């Protein structure tokens, strides 16, 4: 059960043992840990409460594992904000599809590759791909792109942004009293879907002229995708808007709804091919 802690801080005696037995230098081993490049508040904890909607720790993309010469779990799959794969666009999983148990790679009696379920031996590379809406994929990709420790630390809205990410389940539905890191991948995907779908927001009864005007104003407000600080502020405001919270900083446009910047982001930064994912879902 201390595997998760090892990834955050590798004790000297364990590092010595690993280095002596593998011939890998200490600095290389340190670079393989989660170290400092992911926001700790957003990491999925290692839990075992058995509830279907609860988080379990590791997530995986079955297609990534299937394509790896030596299958491995990506660092960024530890983030609660991640529900899809950057490479393939499909939804991640956090449970074995055969026995529905969590991925307990620390709980094995013998050394076997980690893409086999410890409990039942199922090959996780064969797991079916769950559906994820294109809007949810865009939200996931957009957050992942701007969500580095460095960007959050340097953005004035960084702490508000992290709090609002953790509060994403409060948009309503089944999980409103939970924080993001306590939920399963499926439950988090549900929350992200509720937030990112345009039809979840109030119907816009503006005239065509007003809509044109809004569109032009919106275009001026959308920063380039490389400006992470501006995107953190934009998303922090958009995530807070629904429940009528104050905006993250003075002088920012208050009436941006989340689907607006997401639509702009999808146009500026198209993700992995949707057709390919659709084809796989259809099979
Ligand atoms: Zn993948
Ligand atoms: Zn299993």
* Position 237 in a domain: yes
Task: Pick the ligand that lies closest to the CA of residue 99.
Answer: 2
Rounded to the nearest angstrom, the distance between the alpha carbon of 66 and the centre of ligand 2 is 17
- Per-residue model confidence (pLDDT) at position 42: 93
pLDDT tens-digit series, residues 31-85: 888 867 788 899 998 877 778 889 988 999 999 999 999 999 998 999 999 999 9
Rounded distance from Cα 30 to ligand 2 centre (Å):
31
Query: SS3 sequence, the chain?
Result: CCHHHHHHCCCHHHHHHHHHHHCCCHHHHHHCCCCCCCCHHHECCCCCCCCCCECCCCCECHHHHHHCCCCCCCHHHHECCCCECCCCCCECECECCCCCCECCCCCCCCCCCCCECCCCCCEHHHCCCCCCCHHHHHHHHHHHHHCCHHHHHHCCCHHHHHHHHHCHHHHCHHHCCCCHHHECHHHHHHHHHHHHCHHHCCCCCCCHHHHHHHHHHHHHHCCCCCCHHHHHHHHHHHHHHCCCCCCCCCCCCCCCCCHHHHHHHHHHCCCCCHHHHHHHHHC
Is residue 8 pLDDT above 50, yes or no?
Answer: yes
pLDDT of residue 184: 95
Nearest ligand by distance to the CA of 91: 1
Establish if 97 belongs to a structural domain: no
Average pLDDT over residues 232-260: 69
State the ligand closest to the CA atom of 71. Answer: 1
Q: Is 89 part of a structural domain of the chain? A: no
Within-domain flag for 101: no
Question: What is the Å distance from ligand 1's center to 60 Cα?
Answer: 8
Report if residue 146 sits inside a domain: yes
166 located within any domain: yes
* Higher-scoring residue by pLDDT: 217, 66: 66
If pLDDT is split at 50, 70 and 90, which confidence band does 116 have? Answer: very high
Residue 77 falls within a domain, yes or no?
Answer: no
Range of the domain at 244: 134-179+190-201+213-272
Q: How far is the CA of 69 from the centre of ligand 1 (A)?
A: 14
Count of structural domains within the chain: 1
Per the domain annotation, does 38 fall within a domain? no
């Amino acid at each position: 059960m201390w595997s998760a802690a090892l990834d955050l801080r590798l004790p000297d005696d364990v590092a010595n043992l690993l280095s002596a037995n593998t011939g890998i230098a200490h600095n290389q081993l340190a670079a393989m840990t989660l170290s400092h490049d992911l926001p700790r508040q957003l990491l999925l904890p290692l839990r075992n409460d058995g509830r279907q909607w609860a988080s379990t720790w590791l997530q995986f993309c079955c297609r990534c594992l299937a394509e790896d010469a030596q299958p491995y779990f990506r660092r960024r799959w530890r983030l609660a904000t991640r529900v899809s794969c950057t490479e393939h666009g499909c939804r991640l999983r956090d449970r074995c599809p055969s026995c529905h148990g969590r991925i307990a790679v620390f709980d094995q009696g013998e050394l076997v590759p980690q893409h086999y379920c410890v409990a039942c031996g199922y090959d996780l590379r064969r797991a079916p791909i769950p559906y994820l809406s294109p809007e949810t994929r865009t939200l996931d990709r957009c957050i992942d792109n701007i969500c580095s420790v460095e960007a959050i630390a340097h953005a004035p809205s960084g702490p508000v942004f992290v709090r609002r990410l953790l509060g994403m389940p409060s948009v309503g539905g089944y999980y409103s009293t939970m924080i993001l890191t306590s939920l399963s991948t499926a439950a988090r995907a549900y929350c992200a879907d509720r937030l990112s779908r345009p039809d979840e927001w109030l119907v816009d009864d503006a005239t065509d002229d007003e809509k044109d005007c809004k569109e032009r104003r919106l275009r001026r407000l959308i920063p380039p995708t490389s400006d992470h600080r501006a995107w953190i502020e934009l998303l922090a405001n958009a995530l807070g808007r629904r429940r009528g919270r104050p905006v993250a900083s003075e002088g920012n446009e208050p009436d941006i709804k989340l689907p607006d910047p997401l639509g702009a982001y999808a146009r500026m930064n198209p993700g992995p091919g949707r057709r390919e994912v659709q084809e796989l879902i259809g099979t």
